[in-house]
Structures are given as C-alpha cells and as structure tokens.
C-alpha cells in the first residue's frame, strides 16, 4: 500500500514540476514546459526590413502565417502542429538580430524546428 501511495505522490510531483508558463516572443505568457530550450538567435548584416521579409516568406512557405506585427517586427505561424514565433530587431545599425521560437502543441519546446526555420531564413537572404 505504501509503495502505491509513494508512486502516486511521485507521479503527482513530477507532473506538477514539469508544467508551468513560458514567455513568447510577443511578451505574453502561455501554459507549457517553462525550462525547455525553444529559441535560436541569429544576427545578419542586413537591414531589418530585408530580414523581416525573408522571415515572412519562409514562414508562409512552410506553414500558415497567423499573425504579423509590422511595428514590433513579429511574425507568428503554425507549422506542422507547432507555433513558431519570429522576432526581428536591430542589434546595431545595419545588423539585424532574429529570434526564432518554436513550441509543440502541448507547450513543449522544439529547438529542432526553430533551428530549421532559422536556417531557411538565412538561405533566403543570400
């Protein structure tokens, strides 16, 4: 009986410890696994508008573009049951910094999808 009780308590603690909230590139908080690696950062010696255009084309090619914020240079897309956030900022004059964040439907991070989208954006800039 004690073994079953211990197993139930251990399962409850592990489930409680693995859930929480994570921050999106928009600055919002969503339910999911908070400590999963989900973001790739890259820098390009290109204007922000050019990098933003390449990111928009890449997301539209791979999935469905669901949101576009021209003021904050933020894109949100749905690709293969994953939500992908792309934020483009100016790091220095003439240098754009891009953050690609990918999350699976359950709120778990998907660093492989973020890496692939980041790579495809870089290839579109050539």
- The pTM of the whole model exceeds 0.95: no
C-alpha span between 22 and 94 (Å, rounded)? 31
> Of the spans 14-18, 26-30, 35-39, 100-104, which averages the highest pLDDT?
100-104
Please return the burial class of 108, using the count of CB atoms within 10 Å of its CB with bins 0-12, 13-18 and 19+: middle
Who contacts 118 (Cβ-Cβ below 8 Å, separation ≥6)?
40, 42, 98, 100
Q: What is the pLDDT of residue 27?
A: 67
Mean of the per-residue pLDDT values of the chain: 86
pLDDT in tens, 108-124: 899 999 999 999 999 99
In this structure, the number of other CB atoms found within 10 A of the CB of residue 103 comes to 23
Domains of the chain, first to last: 36-124 (3.30.530.50)
Q: What is the pLDDT of residue 14?
A: 54
Q: What is the pLDDT of residue 114?
A: 96
* Residues 52/84/89/60 CA torsion (nearest 10 deg): 0
Whether 31 has a pLDDT exceeding 70, the answer reads: yes
pLDDT in tens, 67-85: 999 999 999 999 999 999 9
């Amino acid at each position: 009986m004690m073994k079953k009780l211990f197993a139930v308590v251990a399962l409850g603690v592990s489930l409680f410890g693995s859930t929480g909230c994570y921050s999106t590139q928009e600055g919002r908080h969503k339910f999911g696994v908070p400590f999963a690696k989900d973001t790739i950062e890259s820098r390009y010696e290109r204007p922000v508008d050019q990098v933003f255009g390449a990111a928009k084309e890449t997301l539209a090619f791979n999935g469905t573009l669901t949101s576009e914020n021209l003021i904050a240079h933020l894109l949100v897309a749905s690709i293969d049951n994953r939500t992908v956030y792309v934020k483009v900022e100016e790091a220095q004059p003439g240098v754009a910094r891009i953050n690609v964040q990918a999350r699976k439907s359950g709120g778990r991070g998907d660093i492989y999808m973020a890496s692939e989208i980041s790579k495809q954006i870089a290839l579109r800039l050539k």
